[in-house]
Amino acid sequence: MKKVVLRLFLGLLGAALLLFALGMIEYIKANSNNGTLVSGGEKRAYLLYVPKSYNPATPTPLVISIHGYVEWPAHQAQISRWNRLADEQGFIMVYPSGTGFPLRWRTFGTSEADTNPRADIQFISDLIDRLESEYNIDPARIYANGLSNGGGMSFVLSCALSERIAAVGMVAGAYMYPWESCQPARAVPAVLFHGTADPVVPYSGGPSRMFDLPFPNIPAWAAELARRNGCADVPQEIAPGGAVSGLRWTDCVADVIFYTIDGGGHSWPGGEALPEFIAGPTSPDIDATRVMWEFFSAHPLDGR
């Protein structure tokens, strides 16, 4: 597994340097992180955004947005544009930081320390505790989402913190966590986005030009998630809009929606574009952030 991590590092080292160079000004302006806590003996960091409309007397939703491999919290805020929607809708945003260099999330589900997600799961749980102690967080409306490795981490959270995370969203998710390790206390609603021309996490699965990893076939993975969420076998088609088509599974214990972006790359649809020669095209045909929020708003945690 250490060889896998080394390949991950070497495969995107050039991209990491470029992204750091392109985003350094924004990175410095945003101060990268504005909070820290100690979780499991590790000092962990996060970037918090509280809209001016926040009222301590009102229970407020919390959205956790998780950056991808070689990225960082301020960059995730920048490309996803979650803060704009937080201002409009009145929820709190937090962008947790991964570990190592480049920053990453441990999502392989192995017993080795550098790939076992246990410490990252504990960090997110501790982060929720911290924010609940400082703000009036509505415990029924805590949501997680992420890009790439961060999308994979969002899936891990749906498995391990299903009693706290009401719903999840994944963009270009790198789903390396094995199904047999996913034993949630409750099925978690999920909305997924993936481009057919993703050069990093291939839509059809298998290794990519950057990573020699056994990525799953994304449509098959989404169907398996729907099966595990107790959905009917045959999904309903969502009417296409531009390059975007979708599937909605019905009669579920927990809803699943899967959007396919035809020709879309390893990027956040409707968000700020990543360098196309690295990530491929960024589709303007769907606003993943707004669609996620609409999905989240419809799926509070039952019984809380």
**Whole-Å CA distances, 301 to 185, 230, 248:** 12, 17, 20
Give me 205's structure tokens. Answer: 């699965």
Strand partners, 168: 144, 190
pLDDT digits (tens, 9 = 90+) for 114-130: 789 999 999 999 999 99
Name the nearest CA neighbour of 123 among 108, 144, 137, 102.
144
pLDDT digits (tens, 9 = 90+) for 30-47: 446 899 999 999 999 999
CATH 3.20.130.10 matches 2-297: no
**Whole-Å CA distances, 269 to 51, 149, 196, 243, 261:** 23, 16, 12, 11, 8
Average pLDDT over all residues of the chain: 91
The ranges assigned to domains in the chain are 2-297
Helix (H, G, I), strand (E, B) or coil at 29: helix
pLDDT grade, residue 7 (50/70/90)? low
pLDDT digits (tens, 9 = 90+) for 156-208: 999 999 999 999 999 999 999 999 999 999 999 999 999 999 999 999 999 99
pLDDT of residue 253: 97
Element (H, E) at 87: helix 82-89
pLDDT of residue 31: 46
SS3 content of the chain, % helix, strand, coil (to 5): 35, 20, 45
Q: CA 162, CA 156: separation in Å to the nearest integer?
A: 10
First to last CA, the chain: 39
